[in-house]
Amino acid sequence: MVSIKGLEPIQRHSWLNTGMSLKIFVAWILATIAIFYLKNHVSAGTVVNRQLTPQERQGKQIYLLGSSASGREITALLGNDTTEVPASALPCVSCHGYDGKGRPEGGVLPSDITGDFLMKPYGITHPNGRRHPPYTDRFLRRAIIEGIDPSGNKLSPVMPVYRFTREEVNNLIVYLKRLGKEKEPGVTDTSILVGAILPGKGFPSEMAMAMKEVLQSYFHDLNEQGGIYNRRIELRFSVSGDTPAATQANAMSLLEEEVFVINGAFIEGSEREIDVLIQEREIPLVGAITNFPQVDFPLNRYIFYLFSGVKELSLAMVEFASEKFGAEDPHIAILSAGGEVFSEITHAIDEQCKKNGWDSRVILTYPHDQFEAKRLVREMKEKEIDAIFFLCSGNEQKALLSEAGRFQWRPFVFIPGPLIDKEILTVSAGFKDKIFLSFPRGPSDMIRASVKEYHSFAEKHKIPAQHLPVQIEAYCSAKILAEGLKRAGKDVSRERLVAVLEGLYEFETGLTPQITFGPNRRIGALGAYIALVDPEEKKVISASDWVKLQ
């Protein structure tokens, strides 16, 4: 018998020799082939759950936002109007919906524009009786750019025509072929899978436990009340790692479990890594907990922060100082520890001071672990600095203020709350009415009924009183997610949830400032309260109402 290297003679393992009938053997082979084919080929109408290709992702951006991945502005014409308007004002999703099947509005029934519908081999008959052959890629390009169907008929005047490049329209067509086939991960008829990232290495274990207990207890109570449209919320937990890469890897484990959304994520120190992951996987994250929100443009659509970070708190102090100094032109120093993160914040403060018309500005940075308080104080005093924006550690603040006191020099000092140390209260009485701090929330946000409700909640579930700030942030994040899921409706999707959260306006948690998101806003409580250090009484007192940032 002839034997091919690597293959055994067929008789040695013959299925026929095992007693299996030929009919069963053939049926088994056919079933195996069918399973292999279905795993490797997606037919029309099949629900798929693979990640979008880069081309599909760019087409999705056009469909949802009317914007190009290249940054080029896309324009559109509507009806007989010859005035071009931004396509972002007329995105496809606004009429055709997230599933592409059309949303009736104002007596107009937009067409189903999913690839499966448009490319039916037997053509299309519309509700008004108009018929035409199936669309091809060429016909779709013509319809989108010229407003003409495959039979040469003009489309409805309510359908815009778009000024796309060839690449942009091709990307959109590729996405239309995927539209309506995506399976929503983590959602079934009876449950919604929600992930959370707890504080890990480098943080007290009691902090992680407090956050976990709050989330578990909140959603337990919600489930007892019927959940969201009779779907129970099921939680999955991960923790932050000791490096940004470790935190990103731990977050990946949640995505591998196919959670629908992440709610409450402690990402301090791993902001950029998580931002990239969330953007790539297009999964909503509601309640990212960090002092350094990633909100530079273009925005990551999928991450929602509750509170301002160091940058926003610093800018709120510039706004406050602007009112305090009035028409004066103060001499400003921005004192920073340097590094990429603080360099960005320093630049933002400097730009805002410039907009205020403050021409006398100096930026002073120092290498890590090389803080020379005496030299810095002498230099700033010689420059007649009136106010310092301080981006330094607590020890450095204490050293500089102590040295300034010895020089009998007491400028105004502005420090964002997350950077302060309790030692700030031990400064000399000479700094009375001189040191200002900024905080993302304050006692005036606490509605009495909501405070009472939270105390009852914590008592009911035996949640310890430690780490109350992270408890409140987790609790309010859960509250916001629950509201978003309710507003998104029974046919919830990730994109629908993102759109609903973007429409959240002055939402009252009862424990925080009112929460507002928007297409260009991802920090819910964007602003700060300013407080004043009273060195005589060793306490901090309120110095302003809520300072809003635009």
Measure the CA–CA gap between 544 and 94, rounded to whole angstroms. Answer: 41
Q: Are residues 295 and 328 in the same domain?
A: no
Q: Are residues 340 and 363 in the same domain?
A: yes
Q: Are residues 89 and 214 in the same domain?
A: no
Range of the domain at 31: 14-40
Going by pLDDT thresholds of 50, 70 and 90, the confidence category of residue 423 is: confident
With respect to residue 216, please indicate whether it lies within any of the assigned structural domains. yes
What pLDDT, on the 0 to 100 scale, is given for residue 49? 58
Q: What percent of the chain has pLDDT over 90?
A: 75
Q: Peptide bond preceding 411: is omega within 30 degrees of 0, i.e. cis?
A: no
- The distance of Cα 167 from the centroid of its chain, to the nearest Å, equals 28
With respect to residue 282, please indicate whether it lies within any of the assigned structural domains. yes
- The distance of Cα 44 from the centroid of its chain, to the nearest Å, equals 32
Q: Are residues 317 and 435 in the same domain?
A: yes
With respect to residue 46, please indicate whether it lies within any of the assigned structural domains. no
- The distance of Cα 358 from the centroid of its chain, to the nearest Å, equals 34
185 phi, psi to nearest 5 deg? -65, 145
31 phi, psi to nearest 5 deg? -65, -40
Instruction: Tell me the CATH number at 133.
Output: 1.10.760.10
Domain boundary, last residue among 178, 210, 245: 178
Over residues 450-471, mean pLDDT: 96
**Are 522 and 293 within 8 A, CB to CB?**
yes
Q: Are residues 278 and 402 in the same domain?
A: no
Q: Are residues 301 and 333 in the same domain?
A: no
What pLDDT, on the 0 to 100 scale, is given for residue 298? 86
pLDDT at 358 over 90: yes
Per residue in 192-246, pLDDT tens?
999 999 999 889 999 999 999 999 999 999 999 999 999 999 999 999 999 999 9
Domain boundary, last residue among 178, 207, 230: 178
pLDDT at 8 over 80: no
Sign of the alpha-carbon dihedral angle for 65, 70, 75, 76: negative
pLDDT at 36 over 80: no
With respect to residue 233, please indicate whether it lies within any of the assigned structural domains. yes
Instruction: Tell me the CATH number at 493.
Output: 3.40.50.2300
Q: Are residues 300 and 319 in the same domain?
A: no
- Helix (H) / strand (E) containing 243: none
**Are 525 and 306 within 8 A, CB to CB?**
yes
Q: Are residues 258 and 199 in the same domain?
A: yes
**What's the mean per-residue pLDDT of the chain?**
89
Per residue in 293-324, pLDDT tens?
999 888 999 999 999 999 999 999 999 999 99
Q: Please indicate whether residue 5 or residue 277 has the higher confidence score (pLDDT).
A: 277
> Which two tokens mark 58?
């760019």
Q: Are residues 391 and 538 in the same domain?
A: yes
Lowest mean pLDDT among 95-99, 406-410, 454-458: 95-99
pLDDT at 25 over 80: no
Domain boundary, last residue among 157, 178, 199: 178
Which of left, alpha, beta for 441 (phi over 0: left; psi -120 to 50: alpha)?
beta
Measure the CA–CA gap between 42 and 287, rounded to whole angstroms. Answer: 36
With respect to residue 219, please indicate whether it lies within any of the assigned structural domains. yes
What pLDDT, on the 0 to 100 scale, is given for residue 48? 54
Domain count, the chain: 4
With respect to residue 1, please indicate whether it lies within any of the assigned structural domains. no
Q: Are residues 197 and 302 in the same domain?
A: yes
CA distances (Å), origin 468, targets 262, 439, 479: 21, 15, 16
Long-range contacts of 466-473 (CB under 8 A, 24+ apart): 466/206, 466/207, 466/210, 467/204, 467/206, 467/207, 467/210, 467/211, 470/199, 470/207, 470/210, 470/211, 470/266, 470/289, 471/210, 471/211, 471/214, 472/511, 472/512, 473/264, 473/287, 473/289, 473/306, 473/307
Q: Are residues 395 and 461 in the same domain?
A: no
- Highest mean pLDDT (candidates 2-6, 45-49, 125-129, 258-262): 258-262
Lowest mean pLDDT among 15-29, 79-93, 418-432, 447-461: 15-29
Measure the CA–CA gap between 526 and 306, rounded to whole angstroms. Answer: 8
Over residues 457-483, mean pLDDT: 96
With respect to residue 347, please indicate whether it lies within any of the assigned structural domains. yes
Measure the CA–CA gap between 277 and 166, rounded to whole angstroms. Answer: 29
With respect to residue 525, please indicate whether it lies within any of the assigned structural domains. no
- Helix (H) / strand (E) containing 504: none
What pLDDT, on the 0 to 100 scale, is given for residue 24? 42
Per residue in 366-416, pLDDT tens?
987 789 999 999 999 999 999 999 999 888 999 999 999 999 999 999 999
Q: pTM here? A: 0.83
Per residue in 39-76, pLDDT tens?
344 444 445 556 889 999 999 999 999 999 899 999 99
Rg of the chain on CA atoms, in Å: 30
Going by pLDDT thresholds of 50, 70 and 90, the confidence category of residue 181 is: confident
Over residues 96-114, mean pLDDT: 83
- Helix (H) / strand (E) containing 365: strand 361-365
**Are 312 and 293 within 8 A, CB to CB?**
yes
Q: Are residues 78 and 219 in the same domain?
A: no
What pLDDT, on the 0 to 100 scale, is given for residue 3? 33
